[in-house]
Amino acid sequence: MQKDFKRVKDSQVVISELMLPSHSNFNGKIHGGYILSLLDQIAFACASKHSRAYCVTASVDTVDFLRPIEIGELVTMKASVNYVGRSSMVIGIRVEAENIQTGDIKHCNSSYFTMVAKNDKGESVAVPGLILKTDNQIRRFAKSIKRKNMKSNRVKEFHETDFSSEKYLHILEDHKAKIELDS
């Protein structure tokens, strides 16, 4: 039987991987797409560990590449459940890169993945609640609620707004857009 509530630490996942030349882009830095793939994997592992169910990625709220990752650095990703809904979970992930020669560590990325627990039929299933034991855990849960509400408001605004071109031509005036409407 599944627990009704679980502690944040019971679902935390940490992975580390050495960045190889095969992970780099044309500029010699680690390719962002490779990091995104690792982020999705750790989000899946963390959400599945919390829910004890197969989980799918519903959305990625934020992926800000703050600092480049170099070939030869050790990348460590730390994931935890920041928020739970009925069947969804927000997984917060912190990415750090360590220069293994100097020991210097830099924060490279913080990301938020919304994962949904599914059963064998592909139907959403309920997940355990979250026991919050620290101010930091409470802050992360509250910030997840705030991001969720902001996203709902943004979606609502975009669905209710009339984006016909004649109403928005004035907005484009100060931006790099050249308007050439067909007659």
The pLDDT tens digits along the chain (183 residues) read: 457 999 999 999 999 999 999 999 999 999 999 999 999 999 999 999 999 999 999 999 889 899 999 999 999 999 999 999 999 999 999 999 999 999 999 999 999 999 999 999 999 999 999 999 999 999 999 999 999 999 999 888 887 777 776 777 777 778 887 778 786
Distance CA 137, CA 8 (A): 8
Strands 74-84 and 13-18: antiparallel
148 φψ region: left (φ > 0), alpha (ψ -120 to 50), beta (else): alpha
Q: DSSP class of residue 24? A: B
Output the 3-class SS for 142-177: HHHHHHHHHHHHHHHHHHHCCCCHHHHHHHHCCCCC
Q: What is the pLDDT of residue 1?
A: 41
Q: In which element (H, E) is residue 46 found?
A: helix 32-51
- Delineate the domains of the chain, giving CATH numbers in brackets: 5-172 (3.10.129.10)
Structure-block tokens of residue 180: 């050439």
Distance CA 37, CA 107 (A): 18
Q: What is the pLDDT of residue 159?
A: 79
Distance CA 70, CA 98 (A): 9
Q: What is the pLDDT of residue 155?
A: 87
Residue with tokens 């308007």: 179
For residue 32, the SS3 value is: helix
Q: What is the pLDDT of residue 158?
A: 81
CB atoms within 10 A of CB 7: 16
List residues bridging with 7 in a β-sheet.
131
Q: What is the pLDDT of residue 134?
A: 97
72 φψ region: left (φ > 0), alpha (ψ -120 to 50), beta (else): left
Q: DSSP class of residue 117? A: E
Q: What is the pLDDT of residue 2?
A: 54
